[in-house]
Structure 1
Amino acid sequence: MKKFYLFLFIALAWTISASAQVPAFPGADGYGRYTTGGRGGEVYYVTSLEDTDTPGTLRYGVTHLSKVTILFKVSGTIQLNSSLNIRGSNITIAGQSAPGDGICLAGYPVSVSGSNVIVRYMRFRMGDWSLSADEADGADAFGGRFCNNVIIDHCSISWCTDECASFYANYNFTMQWCIISESLRMSLHSKGPHGYGAIWGGIGASYLHNLLIHHDSRTPRFGTGNLGTPSDHMTDMRNNVIYNWSGNGCYGAEGMTVNMINNYYKPGPATTTGSKNRFIGIDDATSSDGTTAIWGKFYIDGNYNSKYPDVNTDNWDGVVVNTSSLIGGNATKADVKSNTEQGETPLLHQHTAQGCFLPVLNYAGCSHRRDAIDTRLTTECRNGTATYKGESANKGGIIDKLEDLMPEDAGSDWSPWPELKSETAPVDTDADGMPDEWETQNGLDPKNPEDRNTRNEEGYTMLEVYLNSLVADITEAQYQDAEIVGKPGEPYAPVTTDVTVSWSMSSGKVGESATVSKEGIVTSSEYSLGSEINRKSTRLAYGKVITTFQPTIEYKSPEPTSALYFDFDLADGVTFRPTEISIMALSYGTSGGYFDLAWVDSNGEETILGTGMHGGSDKEDESLATTKIDLNDLVVPTSTGKCQLIVYVYKLSPTKELGLADIKIGGHLGYTAGINETEVETNNREKSIYNILGQPLSAPQKGFNIINGEKRIIR
């Protein structure tokens, strides 16, 4: 089981709060701006381009480690043997550290499921040579859902069989300065034509200064992933360059809140007549029987079409609203239009639409060492051309498979992945991520690995200062002539406590089930004991029953055998992110004895929430016996399925007791499936209607309803 620490001691509270205000790196913008990644953690070097689950490989680092900065001592293409999931949380992947031309991941999809993740200067060029037909459906070159605090910066993403870069249903997310290119239209997908760019969206999600080029559709498609209610989703799309889109182009956004500001649209040889001057086609979210519609709100302004100026004066001339039933008639543009920018947009650099065109072409993607693919793509966008095309669409820039990129004079050993040359990595004696020469020049000790986490006056660690220096010229140049807009401070999406799972401990019996504040959320619950701790007795304190526990061995540090395990299983389609923990603990027969609290998510990843705590005395005020931990400012992964709180007991004599009561886990709910989002219920047939508590209702209420056995959200 992986374990990492988010909350160590109360004395560190200031440090945690202060670091939350330090941007992920200079130039980090938008809702993911304050992601911390591996800041203050360990260093892991990738030394091999092999794709095995052994130390030294990228796969080992992203699946086994957390609170870590991943660096590279090699450059080249890693041909994946299977899908790669970045499971760890509190991770920075610093592709700019690779000596030479950098890193490319090829062959299989790469996804992010951890939280608090920074990925910079990487290439994700999947292709269709390794996938089976079954694997190709849903295969995104790079994507992620149901994550918190993620920023993707200066990555190059291409050659998918589904979407190239689908990041949606996340909290506090930014994708910036990426090149998203050449989805494969008629490859292995079971639906046939499927050359799509991206699905974007989230509860506080920014998409800034990206290039979307040569896609058959979805440039992007906005979507919620059925996380929460559609109106929760605040998506901000600015300063993107969209070139040579085909099909529908940009569409969707069912019930969402969206800003589309200062984007640059350049039709290309594949751009169809119907969408040549379209910015977006807006859809509605409907109830399961199709009788009601939810429309979102859109602020669309400052966007520019290079060939069709009729939509530049009034961007809403480039908006299509699909007809769908609203109470009182069909939706009009007035129904979905916002006249003001929406959401509390975090600080970001903003160009005009025409002002972003050249910076994006010059600096987007893995641009510190551009490969031949990105060089060709940016040249084609600049010139309004396309070099390759596939047979199915027969449109310039829209390819079906990797072989469509093969030059006529290519040899039998041709590969679509350009050679990425590796150079000798700089000497790093203490393996702290900073070369000896750089440490000496900056007054650090090349033999002291701990100085990597020394902070400068801006709040960055010295390791971050070094990594940021490798691309400082790009960061400075890309934002010339940009203005800073938005609101400084914390990210957009506050995480509310929607449900509480509680064990009163009043039964005195091991295996007691929890009380849940909302029905339909938890399917089963219990608590159990490690093999070296026993239930001792029950006592009374503060008018409550306290169940006491006694170890059989006095451990000097936390051990799994001397712990209590509080487990609950979530209903299908429900996600849970812990936001607060409360526990009453009393020591009997001693003033000693300690306990730690840990959270284990559905991936089996353990997060230490608090350490070195001890029980109070029943002679003191009740508040002194209750430990509360607010997790809102910390990044704890979201779970689906199984959840677990662990109470480790140590430094407690076998003759002494620790009493526990009122164990409460507050959490934020999300929904991944099974929720129909409706605004007004208009069906006149007789209904059976209940609220979330199972109480019968005469009519639907705002919020969560169960109508004829189906879950509905009424707004």
Structure 2
Amino acid sequence: MDCWISIWAALRTKWIGLACGALIAAGLSTTGTAESMRPAFPGAIGFGRNATGWRGGEVVAITSLADAGPGTLRDCAENGDRPRICVFSLSGTIKLERPIRPGSNLYIAGQTAPGLGVQLRNGTSARSPIEIEEAHDIVLRFLKLRPGPSLEPSPVVDALSIENGERLYFGNLSLMFATDENFSLHVSGQVSSDITLERSIVAYGLDRSSHPKGKHSKGALICSKEGTDNQCGRVTLWGNLFAHNRDRNPDVNGTDIGPVEVVNNIFYNPISQFGELYDHTGNLRFVYVGNVAAKGPSTTLRAAWALEAFEYVDAHDITIIARDNQVLRRADCARNGQFSVLNPLARMKQAEDPEAPESVAALPSSEVLARIPLRVGDQIGGRRVSDPLDTLVLNSLAKCKGRIINSVEEVGGWPELAELFQRDRDEDGMSDDWETGRPGLDPDRPNDPWAIDIQTGLPVIEAYLANLAGDI
């Protein structure tokens, strides 16, 4: 059943190889599988695809854009570790005075919001909008996380911050305006593993802003560590667009727990560096397949390689599997000088493994520039267009424009998202429009969200989430 649902989704979006490749890689049968083995949603990919601890839980409606209180995102997300799904009855911007720290077993379904969706930004907070700490089984999809500078200098304003977590899935996010990393994955004496970041825009890290170190526009930091006995790996970055970040595109460490796989991403217009590989945390196994690294107007001669390896710990090693990657120097914005995939040390660390990547099927790099931008960021084909900021990033890539920024105002500030509401008369977490005319459902009668949907064979609430996300 599950693979056929994924095939249906893939046919509608022309991603057959990806949808079924992920299921087959997970060892799932094409004729059916146990409920406990079904991925988080049809077409879920990467090491984080089994983030399913929220199944069977309560469906909670977000009815307020306030920072805290009844009906808010915080009230749903921080409510212990009990299984739950947060659905949105409205669209607009949530301004935070402190970070949201979600509990485990949670699905935050941004695809359920009407209009242009939901944007999180900081008010007086000097930390990340969402901080996931020592949590597991979280799915976070279709949101815009754009903190902006802190009022006082702060070293911890990421767009999304994770410290010690397992089975985490992040998809179709817009991560911008951090003064530290836009995406930060950390480990401190515990485990961070089985994590996916996919189809997201990671852009416009603020450079000369409120970070105490000064210039600090950063893309993503993977498996940084503090303390000892750290385990970090089994991380997938697939189909993301990194743009206009000074460096760390991405910055990667790892341990023997499993590989970090960076597949089919676009890295555009850094200043000084694209990807950086280190051995600080442990033995890193790094898979880099089907990616595109492209210089832009801000890129200096220092950014001479798509990947640079650095060794600092004699007891640790770096292994790199790299193939079918492209480096681009387009005539209208590229600078002269050397530009290749691997720096000399990275070339020495190469290994052959035709079975890699193991967590996701790879598209040919020749198709990445044409296909990835169609599905990246907080956009949903047929029902949600990219907002002005995501559109600006996509247009800058297409036209070889754009630059590293120091302030939010340089790109027009935060967009004003209309506060739209959708009706749910029976308050069962599914909109009236979706329930109307659907076999077995009634917008005037609360429905069991975990009953089986006649059309898809999924639980009704999962069919709702998948349908709104364009998964099926």
Conserved? CA contact 1:94–1:121, under 8 Å: yes
- 1:125 and 2:123 aligned: no
Aligned to 1:242: 267
Match of 2:159 among 136, 141, 147: 141
Matched ranges for 1:582-597 at <5 A: none
Aligned 8 A contact 2:221 2:251 in 1: yes
Q: Partner letter of residue 64 of structure 1?
A: N
Cross-structure match for 2:40: 24
Decide which of 418, 421, 438 is 1:441's aligned counterpart. 438
What is the alpha-carbon distance in structure 1 between the residues aligned to residue 253 and residue 72 of structure 2? Answer: 34
Q: Deviations over 1:277-314 (max 9, x none)?
A: x121112251xxxxx242211101010112289xxxxx
Q: Residues 145 and 437 of structure 1: is their aligned pair in 2 closer, same or farther, counting only changes over 3 Å? A: closer
Instruction: Give the aligned residue type for 1:221.
Output: D
User: Is contact 1:180-1:211 (8 Å) kept?
Assistant: yes
Distance 1:37 1:179 in 2: 26
Q: Secondary structure at the match of 1:111?
A: strand
Contact 1:266 1:305 in 2 (8 A): yes
Q: Separation in 2 of the partners of 1:36 and 1:400?
A: 39
Give CA-to-partner distance per residue, 1:114-141, whole Å, 9 cap, x none: 210001100001101x4421xx202211
Question: Quick one: which of 291, 295, 307 aligns to 1:280?
Answer: 307
Task: Pick the structure with greater CA Rg.
Answer: 1
SS of 1:96 mapped into structure 2: helix
Whole-angstrom distance in 1 between the partners of 2:458 and 2:286: 32
Whether 2:225 is the aligned partner of 1:195: answer: no
- Write the mapping of 1:599-610 to structure 2, written as runs, cut at 5 A: none
Structure 2 residue aligned with 1:262 = 290
| 1:530-567 Cα deviation digits (max 9, x unpaired) | xxxxxxxxxxxxxxxxxxxxxxxxxxxxxxxxxxxxxx
Choose from 346, 367, 385 the match for 1:355.
Answer: 367
Identity of aligned residues (%): 26
User: SS state of the match for residue 145, structure 1?
Assistant: strand
For 1:199 and 1:20, locate their aligned partners in 2 and report how far apart those are by CA, in whole Å: 31
CA deviation after TM superposition for structure 1 residue 405, in Å:
2.9
Q: Work out whether 1:56 is the aligned partner of 2:79.
A: no
Aligned partner of 1:165 in structure 2 is 183
In the TM superposition, what is the alpha-carbon distance from 1:168 to its structure 2 partner?
Answer: 4.8
After the TM superposition, which residues 315-354 of structure 1 pair with which residues of structure 2 at under 5 Å, given as runs?
318-322=341-345, 333-334=347-348, 336-341=349-354, 345-346=358-359, 348-354=360-366
Question: Corresponding residue for 2:85?
Answer: 69
Range moving further from structure 2, 170-179 or 25-34: 25-34
Aligned equivalents of 1:427, 1:83: Cα separation in 2: 29
8 Å contact from structure 1 (residues 258, 342) kept in 2: no
1:251 and 2:276 aligned: yes
Distance change >3 Å, CA 437–CA 418, structure 1 → 2: closer
Per the alignment, do residues 181 and 252 of structure 1 end up closer, same or farther by CA in structure 2, a change over 3 Å counting? same
Residue 236 of structure 2 corresponds to 206
* Deviation of 1:186 (Å): 0.9
1:399-548 pair list within 5 angstroms? 399-406=405-412, 416-435=413-432, 438=435, 440-446=437-443, 449=446, 451-456=448-453, 460-472=458-470, 475=471
Matched residue type, 1:139: V
Give, in angstroms, the shift of residue 60 of structure 1.
1.2
**Corresponding residue number in structure 2 for 1:377:** 393
Cα pair distance change 1:232/1:253, threshold 3 Å: farther
| Equivalent position of 1:116 in the other structure | 137
8 Å contact from structure 2 (residues 61, 429) kept in 1: no
Going from structure 1 to structure 2, the CA distance change for 1:20 and 1:246 (only over 3 Å counts) comes to farther
The letter for the 2-side match of 1:217 is D
Q: Determine if contact 1:20/1:35 at 8 Å carries over to the other structure.
A: no
Task: Give the superposed CA RMSD.
Answer: 2.3
1:437 and 1:361 map into 2 onto residues whose CA distance is 28
Corresponding residue for 1:105? 120
SS at match of 1:333: helix
Looking at structure 1, the residues matched to 219 and 418 of structure 2 have their Cα atoms a distance apart, in angstroms, of: 29
Higher strand share: 1
Where structure 1 has 5 or more consecutive residues not aligned to the other structure, the ranges are 1-16, 225-229, 287-291, 310-315, 323-331, 387-396, 407-415, 477-715
- The CA deviation at 1:39 is 2.1
Change (3 A) 1:383 1:164: same
- Secondary structure at the aligned position of 2:401 is classed as coil
Separation of aligned partners in 2, 1:439 and 1:82: 39
Counterpart of 1:20 in 2: which secondary structure?
A: helix
**1: CA distance, partners of 2:40 / 2:151:** 34
**What is the TM-score normalised by the length of structure 2?**
0.81
Q: Distance in 1 between matches of 2:162 and 2:118?
A: 20
